[in-house]
Amino acid sequence: MEPLLGKELSELEQVLGPTEPRFRARQVYSALYQQRVSDLVNISTLPEPLRAGLARDHEVGMPTVDRCFHSTDGTKRYLLRLDDGRTVETVFMPEETRDTVCISSQVGCPVDCKFCMTALMGLERNLTAGEIVGQVLYVAKDNGIQVESQQLNIVMMGMGEPLLNLPNVLKATRILCDPKGVGLSERRITLSTSGIIPKMAELGAAPVRPKLAISLNASTEEQRQELMPITRKWHLKDLIAACRAYPLRNWEKLTFEYVLLRGANDSDADARRVVKLLANLNAKVNLIALNPGPGIPFETPDPARVASFQEIVKRAMPCFIRKPRGLDIFAACGQLKRNS
Ligand code: SAH
Ligand code: SF4
C-alpha cells in the first residue's frame, strides 16, 4: 500500500491519472491535510468508485502510536510507529500561550555529538516527507489542536540531523506551510542543525523554509571538535562564515543553541568567546543546561554557572535559558533514544 501523506498536489495528480479532472487531486490534497481523514474511503467529496479505487492501492499513511509518556509538566513524549515497524519520537509541549511540537527528521542520527543520547543509536534511516508531516498531524489530532487558528509552533529538534535529510524536510515544510495544506506559518517552524555547512546555503535558497537554528555548543574550534566530531569536517570558522552569508528574511534572526557542560564549555571565558564569535551576526542565543542520561560522560552545570554565562552573553545579544521539558519521561533535548 502506497501512502499518500507527504505527496504534493502534482504527485496526487499523477496518482489519480490523466483521466481524472485536476480538481480531484485538489480534493484529495485537502482531505489529507485540511480535513485530515483517517481513511481514504472517508473522502466524501470523491465519487464512490474513485474512492474505492484509490483505497485499493493506497493508504493515508498516518503513524500509529506505540507508546505515549506523560510528564508532570504536561509534556507528552510519543513513540510513533512507522510503516516499516520502526519507531520515532515526537514531543508535545503545551504552554499557556502556545503549544510546541518537537518532531524528528531521521530514525536515529549519524552525527556523533558526545553529549546526545540520540547519537548512541546511530542512523537507521531518513524519514519521508509524509512521516515528517504525519508527526505534526498525529499530535495535533491527539491533542485536539486546530492547527490554523491555534498558535502551534514546530521545532525540528527531535531525533536526527534535518540538513542530512533536506529534500524531505523541505517538502514536508512546503506541505505544512501551504495555506491549502496544513496551513502553518513559516515563522512558526524552526530547524536546528549541528552545522552541515554546504546544506545551509541550500536551505537558504529554498523559497519556503523553516527558520534556522545552529547548535554551536562550543567556543573554540578545538573544543567543538571534541564535543561534536563533525567539526573535523565542517570547521567552526567556516560555519560562522556560512552564518554570515545566510540570507535571513527581514523578520528573522539566527538562533544559536549552546548546551552547557560542566567544566567543559561553561566558563566565563567561553561566554566571552561566544560573544566574539557571534559579533556582527543578527543572532540570539539559547542556553541549554545539559540534560544528563545514561552513557553521557558529562554533568550539568550549577544554576549559578548558567546564570553567569547568560549574564555575559546578554550584554551583547538576546540570550535565554531554555527550561527543560519532560525530563522525568526522557523527553528533553538530547534524551530521545526510544527508551521506555
Ligand atoms: N540534530 C540537530 C537537532 C536535534 S538536537 C542539532 O543537533 O541541532 C536539538 C538540540 O538538543 C541541539 O541544540 C543539541 O545541541 C541539543 N542537545 C543534544 N543533546 C543534549 C543534552 N543531552 N542535553 C541538552 N541538550 C542537548
Ligand atoms: Fe544528532 Fe543533534 Fe544529537 Fe548531534 S545533537 S547527535 S546532530 S541529534
For residues 54 and 28, the answer to whether their CB atoms sit within 8 Å is yes
pLDDT at residue 340, as a whole number: 56
How far does the centroid of ligand 2 lie from the alpha carbon of residue 23, in Å?
Answer: 42
How far does the centroid of ligand 1 lie from the alpha carbon of residue 81, in Å?
Answer: 23
Pocket perturbation via mutation, ligand 2, pick of 89, 106, 111 by most ligand atoms within 8 A of CB? 111
251-289 residue pLDDT tens: 999 999 999 999 999 999 999 999 999 999 999 999 999
CA–CA separation, 247 and 40 (whole Å): 41
Q: From the candidates 13, 20, 89, 257, give the one annotated as an active-site residue.
A: 89
pLDDT at residue 147, as a whole number: 78
Rounding to the nearest 10 degrees, give the CA dihedral for residues 100, 102, 105, 109. Answer: 160
Handedness of CA 39, 136, 210, 131 (dihedral sign): negative
Give the number of other CB atoms < 10 A from CB of residue 163.
Answer: 23
Measured from the CB, is residue 109 less than 6 Å from ligand 2? yes
CA–CA separation, 282 and 266 (whole Å): 23
Average pLDDT, the chain: 95
What is the CA 332 to chain-centroid distance, rounded? 13
Rounding to the nearest 10 degrees, give the CA dihedral for residues 128, 131, 132, 134. Answer: 150
How far does the centroid of ligand 1 lie from the alpha carbon of residue 333, in Å?
Answer: 5
Active site residue 333: yes
CA–CA separation, 21 and 289 (whole Å): 55
Measured from the CB, is residue 165 less than 6 Å from ligand 1? no
Residue 338's pLDDT band, with cuts at 50, 70 and 90, is: low
Pocket perturbation via mutation, ligand 1, pick of 215, 258, 286 by most ligand atoms within 8 A of CB? 215
CA–CA separation, 190 and 130 (whole Å): 18
141-181 residue pLDDT tens: 999 988 776 779 999 999 999 999 999 999 999 999 999 99
Give the number of other CB atoms < 10 A from CB of residue 167.
Answer: 10
Residue 339's pLDDT band, with cuts at 50, 70 and 90, is: low
CA–CA separation, 3 and 66 (whole Å): 19
Measured from the CB, is residue 113 less than 6 Å from ligand 2? yes
Residue 329's pLDDT band, with cuts at 50, 70 and 90, is: confident
The three-state secondary structure class of 271 is helix
